[in-house]
Structure 1
Amino acid sequence: MVYKDAKKFVEDIPKLFKNVKGALLNVFCYQPNGYKTNMDFCEAISKKLDELHIRHSYLSIKYSSCLIMLRMANINLQFNETVLLVTINDSDVAINGFKYTENGYKEVCDKRININGKENAKLLRDEILGESNPKKIVLVSLSKDKTFVKFLRKVLKSNKLIAFDSMPDIDENVIDDIAKWMFDKSFIKYHIIPMCERKYFFITAIGKETFSFLFLEQSEILPLKKTCYVSRCNEYIIYADNLDEERRETMEVEKRCHQNKITVTVDMENFIKVKHETIIFPQLEAFPMNLTLKHSIMQIPVIGILDGISVICLRKNCRYKFLDSWNGLYGKELAISFDETKPKFFEDAFKALLQKPSFGI
């Protein structure tokens, strides 16, 4: 069946998937009519399938290709042994290394090498293998020009090499292997541990200036979780997927704190969640009370410094309190910039240092 309207397809899922236990979806490269982005489309599919209690898994071109190569080569490894999958395209070679683990095949190498067929065989072999010592090497060509296949057969010639002149289509045996794992996680003979298929990026913004601070690269093992901290001197946090840049999310940076904590998780289906929290340093929060208790006679102002934040406490009515004109509990950034004749301080200095980090501290 062919659908030109993605929303119509999603609406028809209950009818199309009637009496279905599981669904395999190869849709990451699809630009859907009816949805703004591919991610919106995938989320709509998952929501509908979850409502129907249908298990599902998203397949990528890379995942499918690697699985086919493992299957057609009839690879059988022991735990911690590795296999190198070498795919020939028209002008380059893709090299993917996998280690067999108790959870399935874990990718340990992902690189591309440009070739012209005139390279020194030994040097090219060393470049392809790198520091790996695979149990098996599987060579497959996606190019109509078979010159490179003959060339690389010679380059990689050994009793480890299993070579094919072309890549077959996905057959029912491959689908069956994926389906078995969906319903029995102990079936890992040809299971490849899911990898991040979207290239998420995170940037901060101050006015019209933007600064990158976190990338989630493709091929990172899923599920994944990353945490980073953003200075409150920034104005916004923006994140998106390089493949779906129209779907951009923007969060305001919270000012009434010491730091902004960003926790990013990507689940097994490549769906992202971003948690935004404010951080108050407990040492600074308790600073006035500790001064009051430990220094009952002291009257002088005291400066507290922690992780680039400074606070000032003054004695008033027999106890220390934060100085409101120094931003109270939240304090000020310890930054100074000399990018211009007149030095800049605090937030102004922070903004200048993002542009010219060598002109201050």
Structure 2
Amino acid sequence: MSQRSSMSNVLSTLNKLIPKKKYDSLVAFFRSKSDKTMEVIIVEFDSKKFIYVNEFTNKNVKKFIDDIPEIFSKNFLAVFFQVCLFKPNGFKHNLEFCQILRDSFTALKIRTYFFSIPDYLYTHLFIATKTKIQLEEEVILLLDNPDKLNVFHCKLTKAGYEKEMIDHFVFDPKADVNALQENIIRSTNPKKIIFATYKPKSKNTMLFKNQILKDFVVDVFDIRRLCEFDIQFLYEMTIWILNRLSGHIAKHLFMPKCARHYAVYFVSFETNPPSPIEILSVMPSEALPLVKAAYVGRTSHPRQVCLASIDPLTDEIHIIQELDLILNKCHATKVVLTIDSESFPTIKVESYLLPEIFGMPNMLDETLKFKIPVIGIYGTPNFSVICYCKNDKSGYEYMKSWNWIYGNELSITFHNKKPVFGAAIHELKDCNPSTVVHDLIKIMAMSPENVKVEKFWDFKITKDEKNPILLEFDTFDGTRKRASPAFLMAMLIRQHLKAIEAEIGEKPNELGFCLFVNYSEEEMERIKSQIKESCNLLKISCVFI
């Protein structure tokens, strides 16, 4: 139908053809034929006639991008794309190419729409077979691939067709006919069955039409003829895209599914090399648009989240977007992944406050008769807030000197002769990571018989005859010291006591603890037991709220 040419020839032909003729309603369609070849089709909307058809390679795509404002005038009603396979030279990845295409046409105020390959194929099939049904009626689509038969059940809703894959199997002509029919039809009452195949006159095709599905209306369609319906496809889609803001329903359009595999990785720089952990993912064929969220605990260490597109054939990872996590004014970072109806993704980060911490003063006012200071512990790594009462008549409030509702990190470094605590650690120059201890609550929760060492810990876990778990760390003078989690926690609690004494003028004899951490009952008992041990070392009592 078309002859391959270079990009320069395509552009030259377009420039000569389009401006000289007064076309009032042009529609363009770009379709990837392989990873190196893309076809362009231009149709006159009103007359439903081809104006231009050609294909070009991926070598001169940047020139095409630059020439978009010159080629695509206001006469273009819409431009459609099915280019997921195309790998253009000069771009980091296909998605970058698609985003630039979209932005370029948006700047010209020309409507665009990007199809996934399956949605493009199935929409084409329904248009080609003139499939028209009423709301809530169903159609079965059988896609006869060379290696298997895919069975889809499709229902027309107010938003378009919903499609669900019911089964896929290798067809055995000797299988029981009734069993095959039951496996395909299930509990549906299809208005029609579309059997799409590359072999419309084969024995297997006739077996399906005349025996297996003889009780139903079956429309056999030769997939190789799909291109014959490009004009009708573009006409139907243009009517829809011009009117969709007013609620127009495209009865042939399938509700969009994701065209790509996306993943969001949390990247911690506490290890070298940094360790990425997947926290969100979207697989091909998930319904669009969608929003997913994950939460990453607060930390004082630099951390990022990265949005990646993963090639389904090669598993090659392409980084699309990188964002720094929020370090201070939060309890955690909420990471939100949004994918629109055309499979374009974005991520954003938001400050997140834990409801338990936010509501802690009111909870304490209602719970505690005696107004003792209370330490709330949350997060991984662990942070703490302090709630106290200025006098017997006032209610609980957050201690501003302890970073108010956000609190301070429960960590210690022995990098200097005098230990340094919490956020002040990160102000030290050239602090040796092996002098820093943290994650004490996590360690307290562990059974001595099942200690799990995190790869980002620069201290070591050891033991002796008296202590089943000890932390071993470097100190300022180059020696290594060992201490129990309870002893180290006592050092941290002492800092809380100093802050409380500075606020209320006296050291409290009793502390309350609220543990906003997610551990089993057995683990919580181990944590409480060791915090009591810490308080005993400080000669104060404690209660858990």
* TM-score w.r.t. length of structure 1: 0.80
Equivalent residue number for residue 3 of structure 2: none
Q: Does 2:418 correspond to 1:337?
A: no
Q: Distance in 2 between matches of 1:47 and 1:259?
A: 33
Equivalent residue number for residue 16 of structure 1: 71
**Cα displacement (A) at 1:331:** 6.4
**Cα displacement (A) at 1:61:** 2.5
Q: Which moved more, 1:332-341 or 1:246-255?
A: 332-341
Q: Does 2:136 correspond to 1:80?
A: yes
1:278-307, CA deviations, whole angstroms, 9 ceiling, x for partnerless residues? Answer: 212254246358758986853x44344679
Q: Which moved more, 1:92-101 or 1:253-262?
A: 253-262
Equivalent residue number for residue 34 of structure 1: 90
Equivalent residue number for residue 219 of structure 1: 285
- Given that 2:331 and 2:379 are in contact with CA atoms closer than 8 Å, whether structure 1 keeps it comes out as no
Equivalent residue number for residue 70 of structure 1: 126
Q: Distance in 1 between matches of 2:167 and 2:116?
A: 17
Equivalent residue number for residue 269 of structure 1: 342
The verdict on how the C-alpha distance between 1:131 and 1:249 changes in structure 2, with shifts beyond 3 A counting, is: farther
**Cα displacement (A) at 1:264:** 1.6
The verdict on how the C-alpha distance between 1:175 and 1:6 changes in structure 2, with shifts beyond 3 A counting, is: same
**Cα displacement (A) at 1:23:** 0.9
- Given that 2:149 and 2:169 are in contact with CA atoms closer than 8 Å, whether structure 1 keeps it comes out as yes
Q: Distance in 2 between matches of 1:342 and 1:217?
A: 35
SS of 2:146 mapped into structure 1: coil
1:140-289 matched pairs, under 5 angstroms: 140-142=196-198, 146-153=202-209, 154-170=211-227, 171=229, 172-185=231-244, 186-205=248-267, 207=271, 209-232=275-298, 235-243=303-311, 245-256=317-328, 257-285=330-358, 287=360
**Cα displacement (A) at 1:262:** 1.6
Q: 2:194 is matched with which residue: 129, 138, 141?
A: 138
Q: Distance in 2 between matches of 1:213 and 1:105?
A: 31
Q: Distance in 2 between matches of 1:360 and 1:248?
A: 40
- Given that 1:6 and 1:41 are in contact with CA atoms closer than 8 Å, whether structure 2 keeps it comes out as no
Q: Distance in 2 between matches of 1:203 and 1:10?
A: 31
Any unmatched runs of 5+ in structure 1? none
**Cα displacement (A) at 1:148:** 3.6
Q: 1:61 is matched with which residue: 113, 117, 134?
A: 117
The verdict on how the C-alpha distance between 1:184 and 1:110 changes in structure 2, with shifts beyond 3 A counting, is: farther
How many positions carry a matched residue from both structures?
351
1:237-278, CA deviations, whole angstroms, 9 ceiling, x for partnerless residues? Answer: 333122272234444444443222122211233211111112
The verdict on how the C-alpha distance between 1:30 and 1:339 changes in structure 2, with shifts beyond 3 A counting, is: farther
- Given that 2:155 and 2:163 are in contact with CA atoms closer than 8 Å, whether structure 1 keeps it comes out as yes
SS of 2:124 mapped into structure 1: helix
- Given that 1:253 and 1:260 are in contact with CA atoms closer than 8 Å, whether structure 2 keeps it comes out as yes
Q: Does 2:184 correspond to 1:128?
A: yes
The verdict on how the C-alpha distance between 1:164 and 1:9 changes in structure 2, with shifts beyond 3 A counting, is: same
Q: Which moved more, 1:176-185 or 1:235-244?
A: 235-244
Letter in 2 for 1:23: V
Q: Distance in 2 between matches of 1:255 and 1:158?
A: 65
**Cα displacement (A) at 1:57:** 1.2
The verdict on how the C-alpha distance between 1:292 and 1:330 changes in structure 2, with shifts beyond 3 A counting, is: farther
Equivalent residue number for residue 422 of structure 2: none
**Cα displacement (A) at 1:89:** 0.8
Whose Rg is larger?
2
Equivalent residue number for residue 52 of structure 1: 108
Letter in 1 for 2:243: D
Q: Which moved more, 1:306-315 or 1:248-257?
A: 306-315
Any unmatched runs of 5+ in structure 2? 1-9, 11-55, 411-438, 462-518, 525-545
Q: Distance in 2 between matches of 1:342 and 1:29?
A: 47
Letter in 1 for 2:285: S
The verdict on how the C-alpha distance between 1:188 and 1:331 changes in structure 2, with shifts beyond 3 A counting, is: same
The verdict on how the C-alpha distance between 1:34 and 1:161 changes in structure 2, with shifts beyond 3 A counting, is: same
Structure ranking higher on relative contact order (CA contacts 8 Å, 6+ apart)? 1
Q: Distance in 2 between matches of 1:90 and 1:102?
A: 34
Q: Which moved more, 1:4-13 or 1:288-297?
A: 288-297
* TM-score w.r.t. length of structure 2: 0.56
Q: Distance in 1 between matches of 2:386 and 2:199?
A: 71
Q: Distance in 2 between matches of 1:174 and 1:150?
A: 28
1:78-125, CA deviations, whole angstroms, 9 ceiling, x for partnerless residues? Answer: 111121111101111122322111222222346533334443333333
SS of 1:184 mapped into structure 2: helix
**Cα displacement (A) at 1:140:** 1.0
Letter in 1 for 2:237: I
- RMSD, aligned CA: 3.8
Q: 2:154 is matched with which residue: 86, 90, 98?
A: 98
